[in-house]
Structure 1
């Protein structure tokens, strides 16, 4: 479930998973996440950056 649906306040704009504004830096736990989606790869190529609206648990 995406963070916004859980009531977690994140900077965002589009609510369509396309703007990239919800990019966050992972400090730990990257191994718990599924690989980046195509949209995530298009928005950031930094390994520890993820889009909060796209990142999903494995």
Structure 2
């Protein structure tokens, strides 16, 4: 496994609001993930975590 299959989205909310609101954090996350395909983005935003923790979605 490599790349998105090893990454999980997480934030340091509420600490992140010191630099802006959660919408800004989410927007910037979207910018960082913009170059990924739909499946890779889905992996980073929840699929990898669901697989790792054994959660069915």
TM-score relative to the length of structure 2: 0.25
- Normalized per residue, which structure has more helix? 2
Could you say which structure has the greater relative contact order, defined with CA pairs below 8 angstroms and 6 or more residues apart?
Answer: 2
TM-score relative to the length of structure 1: 0.25
- Normalized per residue, which structure has more strand? 1
